[in-house]
Amino acid sequence: PREIHRLDYRPPTFWVDSVALEFDLGEEGTVVTARLSLRRNDEVAEGPLELDGEELETLSVAVDGRVLGQGEYTIEGERLTIPDLPARCELETKVRIHPESNTQLSGLYLSSGNFCTQCEAEGFRRITWFLDRPDVMATYTVAIRADKQRYPVLLSNGNRVGERDLGDGRHEVRWEDPFVKPSYLFALVAGQLASHAGDFTTVSGRTVRCEIWVEAHNLDKCDHALRSLQAAMRWDEEQFGREYDLDLYMIVAVDDFNMGAMENKGLNIFNSKFVLARPDTATDDDYEGVEGVVAHEYFHNWTGNRVTCRDWFQLTLKEGLTVFRDQRFSADMGSEPVKRIEDVAMLRLRQYAEDAGPMAHPIRPESYISMDNFYTATVYEKGSEVIRMVDTLLGRDGFRRGMDLYFERHDGQAVTCDDFRAAMADANGRDLAQFERWYTQAGTPRLVATGRFDAAAGTYSLTLRQECPTGQREEDFRALHMPIRMGLIGPDGADQPLGFEGEAAAGAPTERVLELTEREQTFVFAGLTAEPVPSLARGLSAPVLLELEEDEQRLAFRLAHDSDAFNRWDAGQRLFGAAILAGAAALARGDEFQVSKGLVEAFRAVVTDPSLDGSMRSLAMALPSELELAQRMEIVDPDALHRARRAVRRALAEGTRTELAALWERAKPSGAYSNDRASIDRRREANVALAYLSCLESPEWTAAVAAHFDGADNMTDSQAALATLCQLDVPDRQRALEAFYAKWKGDPLVLDKWFTLQATSVLPGAPTRVAALAHHPDFTWRNPNRVRSVVGAFAMANHSGFHSADGSGYTLVADAVIELQGANPQLASRLAGSFNHYKRYDQHRQQAMRGALERIAAVDGLSKDVYEIVHRALA
């Protein structure tokens, strides 16, 4: 497979001004006619026209109405070349494609018998010959012809401009999208669908019709998606002055989808997981997921569609920015600190791990074999952190000025990350040249902090030193421009005024943003009467690993007093994490270990703190996961880690059983379900309290969990209770699983939960149970959600099970990759990433994982997606 490099970018030899597409949809083959208005790119005066195509049966090629003969063009592999073309011409191609056997779910394919498309990143070339690159932007008109009975609904981008009966049982619908767009934003849907609709009146008074298209039996699960869309439209007007530009906005839910959702112009196509929600089928977290993803795809209309990427290396231009926008939206809809904690927890779990492994790449990668492999936590989540730092450096108003200039300069264009940075800098008269290093350097920088209090002088010197990320070369690391939001906490728990030496202390702020630009910088604060406790990188103001020596006492102090909600939570995570890691080390040596009294007291304070809302409390009570803690072990010992975490959990539960029981009593369900914030908060703290109490393995609390399951009138409680039972070796587990299955076997999304809860059970024999799940009649390799709910969940969220000492977890996942790699390379390569960190495990496991990777690498005709992941890991 060929590697593509960022610096090799060349503009295309031709532009496409407009595209007219005709689809004759059929059960056995679909014919696509494409007419492209071509115009030679003056910047590139020479060179043939080169079009991309994949798995196309070419029926004819014509230029300006004349059919070309064999010698007038060449097709070699995935490239169609026409040497001699006039500066302006119309090219017509006719191809046959086979959506009915497209298992890759890229291009045009069938999901539940309906046609749908996925073109990002390079799926459009699987539909027709095209300059399938994002810098080629054109207007599109589309005619769709299909059987009237089977495909009554025919959708594409833009506005519906015509419809006619073709007489032979078929009909035709025509669509027109007036905005130029790259091919990856093309979409088509055809099938039996119904819509839940509502209106949105824009700030300038236009009415936009919003339609959520689903299979008819799901119509009662669309209201939350519709409301989320309307809220997102309003928010983008208020926060960024961005108004929606078409009269119609459609979202279609499909069951078979490789990703979460896709922002196609005017016609989003979604994994049904991020559309369908009803209280009895979706959890509170699912509701938030729907709201966030609907908003994300909507926000792309400006950051992604109106202004798009010049080439795929710039992906973070639209994704980092749009994730930042959806995170801010969700914070505004709910709780800012809760949202921030959830986002950082995910960043540390997935992105920091990626940064420390073989797939480490800058948010703007330098090369790829398959672009599909670079829809990563780094491009998305770290990309969002980088945008967040710009926001922190420029301030809310400065950031808005930068955004306005960005749209003013680049509306209708395909641009680069440098263009974005230039708009931010120019709008604010700031120099963001050094800031570019966030786009060129891979890895998570370490930030080592040391403090020195001089009692006589009343000063506190804080030294911050940037260290090269793990896995990167020292000589490549250059100091980054980063904002560090911080405070100094006094002995009474209050933030101290932060007067710099030489400044008047009176009136100084109690929180500052320090701007780091050098490898090492020292800041001296004056006017202090007692040694303060520093609270650094509040809200994780920069995506770094903060290294600061803090003992149990100091962490407990910050957990109790830090005025920054995020840093309070973070102090707790450090405290619990350190205890578990110390325990794991002791167990690995064969020693006993005891949970300290101080730890139990800190936990008790969290359980009982009246100032915490339920969501915050549940986050503060959660122990860091095994997967996250594994990142911090020299050589990962999954068994010791698992036993230590369990022991800490149990000790905390035993030490605070009275308070936990009181919390459960106060917060447990009473009265009918409601989805207001207070009820969501209560459900969260009730469920986390009950999960702790279940660790006591007492008949009383096991019965309480079973009763909670039986009495649940909503999926949040039902799933939480079943999740808890799945970790217990009790008869109620099997009974509850059977009851859940009987009730929900007809609902694929709920059934996914049923599979996941079993795949993530840590009871002994996990690999055997997961193998059995993969043979369950409801399991299928063809549905990505189902595969992820079993194999994905096992590999990514069942650390002790996946790393079972006998290697059977590895065999299972490698078999799945091999099974899938031909049919669905994108899905297979995600699963192949499960082995990325094998070098961090003990010799025995390393060998077993390496063996699994080598077995995958040896597959004949391995897809390039999987090839890239496996070969990077083995390198």
**19 or 262, CB closer to Zn ion?**
262
**133 or 171, CB closer to ligand DPP?**
133
372 binds ligand DPP (CB under 6 A): no
Rounded Cα–Cα distance for residues 821 and 862 (Å): 7
Q: Work out whether the CA dihedral 472, 476, 482, 488 comes out positive or negative.
A: positive
Q: Which does 262 bind (CB under 5 to 8 A by kind): Zn ion, ligand DPP, none?
A: ligand DPP
Rounded Cα–Cα distance for residues 549 and 763 (Å): 36
297 binds ligand DPP (CB under 6 A): yes
263 binds ligand DPP (CB under 6 A): yes
**258 or 335, CB closer to ligand DPP?**
258
> Which tokens hold the place of 260?
């979460």
Considering only 261, 526, 695, 766, the residue that binds ligand DPP (CB under 6 A) is 261
* Closest separation in Å from C-beta 296 to ligand DPP: 6
Considering only 286, 288, 311, 319, the residue that binds ligand DPP (CB under 6 A) is 319
Cβ neighbours of residue 288 closer than 8 Å, sequence gap 6 or more: 330, 334
Question: Could you confirm whether 700 is annotated as catalytic?
Answer: no
Nearest to 222 by CA among 243, 198, 203: 198
Q: How far is CA 342 from CA 339, 387, 448, in A?
A: 5, 18, 24
**121 or 715, CB closer to Zn ion?**
121
* Closest separation in Å from C-beta 213 to ligand DPP: 18
CA angle 12, 16, 20 (to 5 degrees): 150
Site for Zn ion, residues 270 to 329, rule: CB under 5 A: 319, 322
Pick the stretch among 260-268, 335-343, 735-743, 814-822 that binds ligand DPP (CB under 6 A).
260-268
Q: Which does 361 bind (CB under 5 to 8 A by kind): ligand DPP, Zn ion, none?
A: none
Site for ligand DPP, residues 698 to 757, rule: CB under 6 A: none
Residue 160 φ/ψ, nearest 5 degrees? -80, 120
**133 or 296, CB closer to ligand DPP?**
296
**299 or 754, CB closer to ligand DPP?**
299
- Exposure string over 247-273, b if 16+ CB within 10 A, otherwise e: ebbbbbbbbbbbbebbbbbbbbbbbbb
Cβ neighbours of residue 853 closer than 8 Å, sequence gap 6 or more: 814, 832, 835, 838, 870, 873, 874
* Closest separation in Å from C-beta 487 to ligand DPP: 35
- Report CA 339 to chain centroid distance, whole Å: 14
Which DSSP symbol is given to 611? Answer: T
Q: Which of 297, 381, 385, 626 is catalytic?
A: 297
Q: Give yes or no for a cis peptide into 457 (omega within 30° of 0).
A: no
122 binds ligand DPP (CB under 6 A): no
Pick the stretch among 18-26, 103-111, 261-269, 718-726 that binds ligand DPP (CB under 6 A).
261-269
Considering only 19, 146, 252, 262, the residue that binds ligand DPP (CB under 6 A) is 262
Q: Work out whether the CA dihedral 468, 469, 475, 479 comes out positive or negative.
A: negative
296 binds ligand DPP (CB under 6 A): yes
* Closest separation in Å from C-beta 92 to Zn ion: 33
Q: How far is CA 302 from CA 87, 242, 425, in A?
A: 32, 7, 20
**Where would I find the beta strands (DSSP E) of 77-169?**
79-82, 88-97, 107-111, 114-118, 137-147, 153-156, 159-165
Rounded Cα–Cα distance for residues 370 and 870 (Å): 12
* Closest separation in Å from C-beta 322 to ligand DPP: 7
Q: Which does 333 bind (CB under 5 to 8 A by kind): ligand DPP, Zn ion, none?
A: none
* Closest separation in Å from C-beta 261 to ligand DPP: 6
Rounded Cα–Cα distance for residues 341 and 817 (Å): 33
Look at residue 346 and give its three-state secondary structure. Answer: helix
Pick the stretch among 258-266, 390-398, 403-411, 753-761 that binds ligand DPP (CB under 6 A).
258-266
Q: Say how many C-beta atoms besides its own lie within 10 A of residue 555's C-beta.
A: 25
**179 or 324, CB closer to Zn ion?**
324
* Closest separation in Å from C-beta 322 to Zn ion: 5
Nearest to 92 by CA among 129, 138, 143: 129
Look at residue 604 and give its three-state secondary structure. Answer: helix
* Closest separation in Å from C-beta 681 to Zn ion: 29
120 binds ligand DPP (CB under 6 A): yes
* Closest separation in Å from C-beta 121 to ligand DPP: 8
Instruction: List beta partners, residue 309.
Output: 415
By beta carbon distance, the residue nearest ligand DPP is 259
Q: Which does 385 bind (CB under 5 to 8 A by kind): Zn ion, ligand DPP, none?
A: none
**322 or 863, CB closer to Zn ion?**
322
Residue 148 φ/ψ, nearest 5 degrees? -70, -40
259 binds ligand DPP (CB under 6 A): yes
**253 or 599, CB closer to ligand DPP?**
253
**303 or 466, CB closer to ligand DPP?**
303
* Closest separation in Å from C-beta 819 to ligand DPP: 24
Pick the stretch among 276-284, 292-300, 437-445, 845-853 that binds ligand DPP (CB under 6 A).
292-300
* Closest separation in Å from C-beta 413 to Zn ion: 19
Nearest to 866 by CA among 801, 803, 818, 804: 818
Nearest to 700 by CA among 675, 732, 674: 732
Q: Say how many C-beta atoms besides its own lie within 10 A of residue 540's C-beta.
A: 20
Rounded Cα–Cα distance for residues 616 and 341 (Å): 9
Question: What angle, 0 to 180 degrees and rounded to 10, lies between the N-to-C axes of helices 657-667 and 677-694?
Answer: 150
**392 or 826, CB closer to ligand DPP?**
826
Pick the stretch among 295-303, 524-532, 545-553, 721-729 that binds ligand DPP (CB under 6 A).
295-303
- Long-range Cβ pairs for the range 331-337 (8 Å, 24+): 332/235, 332/239, 333/231, 333/291, 334/288, 334/677, 335/613, 335/615, 335/616, 335/677, 337/565, 337/566, 337/569, 337/616
Pick the stretch among 63-71, 257-265, 336-344, 740-748 that binds ligand DPP (CB under 6 A).
257-265
Total of residues contacting ligand DPP (CB under 6 A): 9
- Active-site residues, by number, are 297
Binding residues vs ligand DPP (CB under 6 A): 120, 259, 261-263, 296-297, 300, 319
Binding residues vs Zn ion (CB under 5 A): 319, 322
